[in-house]
Structures are given as C-alpha cells and as structure tokens.
Amino acid sequence: MTAHRTTIHILGLGAMGTVLAVDLLRFTNALVVPLFRSQERLAQFQEANGNKTSIRKIYLEGSPLLSYPIERCECPESFSKKPIDNLVVTTKTYQTKEALAPYLPYINENTNLILIQNGLGVLELLREEIFTDSKDRPHLFQGVISHGVYQDNAGVFNHAGWAGMKIARLPWTDEDMIQKKIIVKQDLANNSLVKLLMEPKFAKEFGMEHSTYQEMLSGQLFKFLVNACINPVTAILDCVNGEMKDSCGPIFRSIIDECLQILRMAYKPLFGYREKFGGNDEYPDMNINEVLTTDNMVSEVTRIGCDVNAKNSSSMRQDSLFLRDIEIEFINGYVVRLASKLNLDPNSSKVNKTIQEMASLRLALNRSRKINGDWRSN
C-alpha cells in the first residue's frame, strides 16, 4: 500500500514560496504543486529551471545550492479544477486578492489556507472582501516567517538568514481571538496542513513553532515591528540590512514607539491578556508587555534585522530596486489606517505616515531614473 501523500499548493513560488518548497521536498513526501499566474509564467519557470526549485543556503558553510524536481506545476489555465486541500499563500500582501481569484471555486470549508506574509491587514481583506460567506470559508492559518531570502541578479534565490517560522489558526471573528491550548492539540492531531508543517524532521530544519493565535499574534506584532523598521528604511536608504546597524537606533525608536502606542489600542485583548487569563491552565501563559516595549524592540529589531539578516537585502528594498510595487500599505500604512479607524489624531501616526511617503517616493524615484536616466551621473 503506497504511503498517503499530502498535497500542498503553493501560490507564489518566490523567495518565501521557494524556501518552503525546497525544505518540504527535502524532508517530507508531500506533493508540492506551485500555482503560477499564467501558462506563460509556468512555461518560463520550466524553461529557466528545468522544472526544479532551487535555493542557495548562504548562511551555511560552502553556501550549498539545493535543487529538487517539481512533479506538477499548475496555473489558472491548467488547474485540475479539484477542491484544494492545502493552500500556501506566499505572494506579496497586495497580490493576495488577485492571486486567489482563479482558485476561489476550489477553496471550501475543508480547505486549509495559510498566509505566509509580512505585515497586517490581509486577514481583514479575506474576512471583508473574499470569504464573506461563513458556510464555505476555509480553515485559515498564519505563518510568521523570519527567514531572510533574496533573489540575486542571476535569478538564484539566496537563503541569507535562518530564523524560523511560527504558525497558528486564525480567528474568523475578533471574538475568537483568544484561543485555548486545546485548539493547538486538536489541529496537531487532525489538521492535514498542521500535521505536514509540524512533521518532526521538517519542523526542526525549518524552525517551525505551532501555537495559539494569541501567542502567534505576539510574534506577528514582534515581526511587524521588525518589518516596519527594516523594510522601508533599507528601501529608502538603498542599503543591505547590516550596513546601517550602528546608526539606525533613533529612527527605529521613533517608528517603534508610535507603532506600539497604536497597536496597544487596536489589540487590547492581547495586551490585557495576562490580567484576564493569567493563572488559567486552559490558556498558555504569556506576557506580551514584557516583550513589546520600545527599548526591547529597538534592540531586537536591530539584532534580527541587522545581525541575523545582516547579509539580506530586505524584500521591500528588492521590490524597490526591481521597480515592483512595495508592501508599505500592509506595514507602516496599516498603522496609519489603524489610527484613523480608531479615530485618533492624525499626528498620532505622523512618523509612520512619513516613512510610508518616503518609501513610496524612493520607489517613484527608482522608476523615474529607469525612464529618465540617473541625473546624478550628469
């Protein structure tokens, strides 16, 4: 009898899709099926990569290049038209809605869908614009990934920083934000996507941690603060993460301080968790207020962004250099929208609004130089 194989579709075989796909192929027997945006893009992948997915692990001795064959690729034109069991979304945040569109008829209440993306705001998008009917919406999960991967000029994906990934079941309503520990046990025992991602060998090599939503959310806000600093500032300055290590403290402090003031209001149940659930064994012990402080986060953002991922070119800098749209609306722009949603004074999000405008200006300048030339060389 052949061993059961879990099928996992990956929507977005870019830096994050690739780093996940390679390790799934290395350490599990899953059928990994990338979903490309078009037949043309699928053909380009097959022609350029010989139907293999590859990544260079530059944080390892000798920077080994790992390549694995892809058994099946699909796109909207060639899709099997069968219900999707497990779907990973590793597109950029602003690409999510358009990328999901062709596959919505095949996503149902039995589908597991995990978002592996930076930033915040996609959950609201899925709730309010995509899966509006509670009867056929999928099981939703979030992955907060801190690995650093960039694609070099030769088109090779480089895994620059190993830093693991946290996953949790997402709540479809805010009332379900705080989860009991039993939810984690039940998903580990019964959910095919969680079982695959938590297979011991894969989980160890990829640094997977499975937790309740509130535990993951504290990690997601932690990572959000990393991205709110590293991504736009490296894009604006056009620098590699580690270059600014000795001088980035003041700007990181300004960004983080403002973010935390707004996030504490928007995620009150999380910041008041210890008072309400502390000592109750049905819930995990957690004190976010010890971690998400301005002083601690300035040092942690610098450590993760400029030490662990020193050699990485942030995903936003890469987008800006390659003239692609940037995710600023789901990072610093999300803080500005949150302040407005909370009816706060516009000055309460001035730092993030300025960072959002500067990052957008940098992208516009890069695009202008492509068309009009670089005036600095005149």
User: In terms of CB distance, is 179 or 360 closer to ligand NDP?
Assistant: 360
CA distance 190 to 136: 19
Say which entry of ligand NDP, ligand KPL, none residue 230 contacts (CB below 5 to 8 A, set by partner kind): ligand KPL
Please give the sequence-ordered ranges of beta strands (E in DSSP) within 186-237, or none if there are none: 208-210
Cβ–Cβ < 8 Å for 208, 202: yes
- Taking the complex as a whole, how short is the minimal distance between the CB of residue 301 and ligand KPL, in angstroms? 9
Q: Which stretch binds ligand KPL (CB under 6 A): 72-80, 104-112, 170-178, 307-315?
A: 307-315
Part in contact with ligand KPL (CB under 6 A); list of ranges 227-235, 253-261, 273-281, 335-343: 227-235
Q: How are beta strands 165-169 and 208-210 bridged, if at all?
A: parallel
Q: Does 314 bind ligand KPL (CB under 6 A)?
A: yes
Q: Could you tell me where the beta strands, DSSP code E, fall in the chain?
A: 7-11, 31-35, 52-57, 65-69, 86-89, 112-116, 139-145, 148-151, 157-161, 165-169, 208-210
Task: Kindly state whether residue 220 participates in binding ligand KPL, applying the rule CB under 6 A.
Answer: no
What separation, in Å, do the N-terminal and C-terminal C-alpha atoms of the chain show? Answer: 71
Q: How far is CA 354 from the centre of its chain?
A: 23
The item of ligand KPL, ligand NDP, none sharing an interface with residue 218, based on CB under 5 to 8 Å by kind, is: none
Select the binding partner of residue 117 from ligand NDP, ligand KPL, none (C-beta < 5 to 8 A, by kind).
Answer: ligand NDP
Cβ proximity to ligand NDP: between 118 and 360 the closer is: 118
What is the smallest separation between the CB atom of 65 and ligand KPL, expressed in angstroms?
21
What is the spatial order of strands in the sheet that 7-11 belongs to?
31-35, 7-11, 86-89, 112-116, 139-145, 165-169, 208-210
The single residue among 211, 309, 320, 356 that binds ligand KPL, judged by CB under 6 A, is: 309
Phi, psi of 248 (to 5 degrees): -90, -5
| Residue in the shown chain whose Cβ atom is closest to ligand NDP | 14
| Cα angle, residue 33 at apex, residues 27 and 38 outer, rounded to 5° | 145
Which of 23, 187 has the CB closer to ligand KPL? 23
User: From ligand KPL, ligand NDP, none, which one binds at residue 207 (CB under 5 to 8 Å depending on kind)?
Assistant: none
Please report whether residue 305 would count as binding ligand KPL according to CB under 6 A.
yes
Residue that is written with structure tokens 């609201």 in the block: 124
- For residue 129, count CB atoms less than 10 angstroms from its CB and return exposed for 0-12, middle for 13-18, buried for 19 or more: exposed
To ligand NDP, the closest distance from the beta carbon of 38 in angstroms equals 8
- List the structure tokens of 209: 């941690």
Compute the distance between CA of residue 237 and CA of residue 306 in angstroms, rounded to an integer: 14
Judged by beta carbon distances under 5 to 8 A according to partner kind, the member of ligand NDP, ligand KPL, none in contact with residue 305 is: ligand KPL
Any idea which residues carry the catalytic annotation? 223
* Residue 147: CB minimum distance to ligand KPL, A: 7
- In the list ligand NDP, ligand KPL, none, the entry touching 226 (Cβ below 5 to 8 angstroms by class) is ligand KPL
Secondary structure in 3-state letters for 266-328? HCHHHHCHHHHHCCCCCCCCCCHHHHCCHHHHHHHHHHHHHHHCCCCCCHHHHHHHCCCCCCH
Q: Find the part of the chain contacting ligand KPL (CB under 6 A) among 21-29, 247-255, 259-267, 311-319.
A: 311-319
Q: Which of 312, 348, 352, 360 binds ligand KPL (CB under 6 A)?
A: 312
Nearer Cβ to ligand KPL (223/353): 223
Q: Specify the residue, 86 or 309, whose C-beta has the smaller distance to ligand KPL.
A: 309
- Residues 231-260 touching ligand KPL, rule: CB under 6 A, are 231, 241
363 membership: H or E segment, kind and range: helix 350-372
**Stretch of 32-40, 52-60, 75-83, 308-316 lying at the interface with ligand KPL (CB under 6 A):** 308-316
Binding region for ligand KPL (CB under 6 A) out of 56-64, 102-110, 119-127, 223-231: 223-231
List residues near ligand KPL by CB under 6 A: 118, 146, 148, 226-227, 230-231, 241, 305, 309, 312, 314-315
